[in-house]
């Protein structure tokens, strides 16, 4: 959060954020069609966001962790257009959007912050489009792992070890591939000594190899 506020200002801003909400693993924070009222800042826990077609196919559109903001899809039509499910017990700050808008008219730093958060989501989705549109299974999974570990590292976790919060099927849905292909690709990386995999535990042994797979697979 942006700094440089007086205590009084800080209090006003804090007030937006005072409502907390706990969500148990497997529960929905919001779902498609719900009326939009608030953004949610994840305090603890791990979420997946997804949309589904009429015929029941699910597309995971993102995984969110502590410190990230969720619910911005709802602003467009005052209705949520995706589902957010907790993949582990979680706690969020409920931030009524009307309050956010009012306060951000008062505090340019907050306004700027909101804009950046939304833009960052647009940029993230741009790179997922690149992943889905242009890359092969190995590149996708390498990119996924690198992104995940980088975000965890920024939060003080290990640079090389991950406990996956999602199933192979959910990873596959996010990356546009089937769970079997996810599993096989994990095994392949493991055979090549790039990572160590044991169920949900993944250790990155050769980060450089992953990076190489991720951004210049063409050289084959």
Partner DNA sequence: GTTTAGTTTTGATGCAAATCAACCAGCTTT
Partner DNA sequence: AAAGCTGGTTGATTTGCATCAAAACTAAAC
From residue 3 to residue 22, the character string flagging contacts with a copy of itself as x (rule: CB under 8 A) and all else as - is: --------------------
Residue 4 binds what, of a copy of itself, DNA, none (CB under 5 to 8 Å, by partner type)?
none
Binding flag, residue 75, a copy of itself (CB under 8 A): yes
Binding flag, residue 59, DNA (CB under 7 A): no
Indicate the residue among 62 and 176 with the shorter CB distance to DNA.
Answer: 176
Candidates 2, 120, 150, 163: give the one binding a copy of itself (CB under 8 A).
Answer: 120
Binding flag, residue 183, DNA (CB under 7 A): yes
Return the HEC string of the chain: CCCCCCHHHHHHHHHHCCEEEEECCCCEEECCCCECCEEEEEEEEEEEEEEECCCCCEEEEEEEECCCEECHHHCCCCECCCEEEEEEEEEEEEEEHHHHHHHHHHCHHHHHHHHHHHHHHHHHHHHHHHHHHHCCHHHHHHHHHHHHHHHHHHCCCCCCEEECCCCHHHHHHHHCCCHHHHHHHHHHHHHCCCEEEECCEEEECCHHHHHHHHHCCCCC
Indicate the residue among 75 and 207 with the shorter CB distance to a copy of itself.
Answer: 75
Binding flag, residue 137, DNA (CB under 7 A): yes
Indicate the residue among 44 and 215 with the shorter CB distance to a copy of itself.
Answer: 215
Q: Which residues bind DNA (CB under 7 A)?
A: 136-138, 164, 167-169, 172, 176-184, 186-187, 197-200
């Amino acid at each position: 959060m942006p700094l440089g506020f007086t205590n009084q200002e800080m209090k006003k801003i804090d007030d937006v954020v005072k409502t907390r909400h706990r969500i148990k693993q497997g529960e929905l924070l919001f779902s498609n069609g719900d009326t939009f009222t608030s953004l949610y800042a994840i305090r603890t826990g791990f979420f997946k966001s997804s949309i589904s077609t009429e015929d029941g196919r699910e597309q995971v559109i993102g995984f969110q962790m502590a410190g990230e903001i969720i619910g911005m899809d709802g602003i467009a039509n005052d209705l949520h257009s995706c589902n957010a499910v907790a993949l582990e017990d979680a706690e969020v700050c409920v931030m009524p959007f009307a309050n956010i808008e009012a306060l951000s008219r008062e505090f340019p730093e907050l306004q700027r912050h909101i804009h950046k958060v939304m833009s960052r989501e647009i940029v993230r989705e741009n790179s997922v489009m690149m992943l889905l549109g242009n890359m092969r299974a190995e590149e996708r999974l390498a990119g996924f792992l690198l992104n995940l570990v980088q975000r965890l590292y920024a939060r003080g976790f290990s640079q090389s070890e991950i406990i996956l919060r999602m199933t192979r099927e959910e990873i596959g849905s996010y990356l546009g591939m089937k769970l079997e292909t996810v599993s096989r690709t994990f095994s392949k990386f493991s055979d090549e000594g790039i990572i160590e995999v044991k169920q949900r535990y993944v250790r990155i042994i050769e980060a450089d190899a992953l990076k190489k797979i991720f951004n210049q697979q063409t050289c084959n």
